[in-house]
Amino acid sequence: MKIGIIGASGYAGGELLRLLAGHPEFEACTVTAHSNAGEEITRVHPQLTSYAGERFSAFEAKDFDCCELIFLALPHGESANIISSLHEGAKIVDLGADFRLEDGAKWAKYYGGDHAGTWTYGAPELPGARELIAKSSKVANPGCYATAIALGIAPAASIADVTDVVVVAASGTTGAGRSAKIILIASEVMGSLTSYKFGGVHQHTPEIEEAITRSTGKASRISFTPILAPMPRGILATITMKLQPAVTSKQARLAFEKAYMDEEFVHLLPEGQMPKTSAVLGSNFVAIQVAVDEHTNRLIVSVAIDNLVKGAAGQAIQNANIMCGLPENLGLTGQGIGA
């Protein structure tokens, strides 16, 4: 299949190119980057040696008429501006936030501006999502934090109070994008941790709440504090919820075993083994561990993902595979890099 990528000079776009280079059915034939148009791909992404000699082009909608599948890897708010110019027959996966939310008021509060609409939410492992993705021609890829946190909450909806969820999650600097920011330079980041978007204002909050409510039928409310970690990539989320009375550690673990026993990309780790970001780097895998704090009767869930793969490009390809009727794991079977 001929594939197009709009906005391929960023970190998520680079990961799309890397994963597509090893995909047996998808061929990237039209690759654009607005500010980097005309540059060689390997000047921006030197690791992508299979693209040597190829250049980013400027965006022209007609150049995508040959594409059966298009990935949008643009900053939030930009996908909605170009979607009407793309041909109607293309399947589209948007890695941005433009079509993730159902509530227009929440879009206005957390992002600002007009709400562009809602596409099928592309979180295949959440209950009921895979079937909807398979029938869709347009899919909104989840955010990176939202992926880790929703997967850590959903199985607990039957045993815990999902209306009072507390999340603290650390992410590598690539989660903030590739544009230059003082807070992201090495001198500011290395050897330091800092919270940001403090006080429940992170834009993934309503996305997570909608995803949990949609997939479990239960209203959800979370208090989310993100942390910038001194590493390029990876997310480690710690999620706590008040358990229903008399729920044991064994029952809590069983809820997660049942939820993910048939999921190739979600691994509930053996008891005593904790998720770590290095174990999933470069992969589309999710590592999860659960425990019960008997002192407070709270469920504790730890989740690790690579924010650029399962949190962005890998999940986008996973969604595309489903949309195109292909095996879900095509191009995504690579293991984590490790230490």
Is the pLDDT at 186 greater than 90, yes or no?
no
332 within a domain of the structure (yes/no): no
Same domain, 189 and 242: yes
310 close to 286: Cβ distance less than 8 angstroms: yes
Same domain, 210 and 171: yes
Given the residues 66, 67, 144, 324, the one annotated as active site: 144
- Using alpha carbons only, give the angle 315, 182, 239 rounded to the nearest 5 degrees: 40
89 within a domain of the structure (yes/no): yes
Same domain, 10 and 137: yes
**How much is the average pLDDT of 157-178?**
93
**How much is the average pLDDT of 208-232?**
96
What are the pLDDT digits (tens) for 134-148?
A: 999 999 999 999 999
335 within a domain of the structure (yes/no): no
Nearest to 21 by CA among 40, 45, 57, 43: 45
Is the pLDDT at 339 greater than 90, yes or no?
no
Nearest to 22 by CA among 265, 266, 313, 234: 313
Confidence of residue 175 (pLDDT cuts 50, 70, 90): confident
pTM: 0.96
234 within a domain of the structure (yes/no): yes
Same domain, 191 and 291: yes
326 close to 94: Cβ distance less than 8 angstroms: no
Same domain, 128 and 154: no
67 is catalytic: no
Same domain, 186 and 121: no
302 within a domain of the structure (yes/no): yes
Same domain, 261 and 314: no
33 within a domain of the structure (yes/no): yes
**How much is the average pLDDT of 241-258?**
96
Same domain, 293 and 151: yes
Domain count, the chain: 2
What are the pLDDT digits (tens) for 283-298?
A: 999 999 999 999 999 9
Same domain, 282 and 240: yes
Supply the pLDDT for residue 337: 87
Supply the pLDDT for residue 230: 93
Q: How many CB atoms lie within 10 A of CB 217?
A: 10
Supply the pLDDT for residue 184: 76
Same domain, 111 and 221: no
Residue 250 in 3-state DSSP? Answer: helix
19 within a domain of the structure (yes/no): yes
Question: What are the angstrom distances between the C-alpha of 50 and each of 11, 56, 154, 166?
Answer: 17, 14, 39, 43
CATH number of the domain that residue 28 is part of = 3.40.50.720
251 close to 231: Cβ distance less than 8 angstroms: no
336 within a domain of the structure (yes/no): no
The residue segments making up the domain with residue 288 are: 145-307
Same domain, 108 and 224: no
CA distance 34 to 308: 20
CATH number of the domain that residue 226 is part of = 3.30.360.10
- Using alpha carbons only, give the angle 51, 180, 170 rounded to the nearest 5 degrees: 90
Amino acid of residue 94: D
- Mean residue pLDDT of the chain comes to 95
Same domain, 101 and 191: no
Q: Which of 138-147, 169-178, 254-263 has the lowest mean pLDDT?
A: 169-178
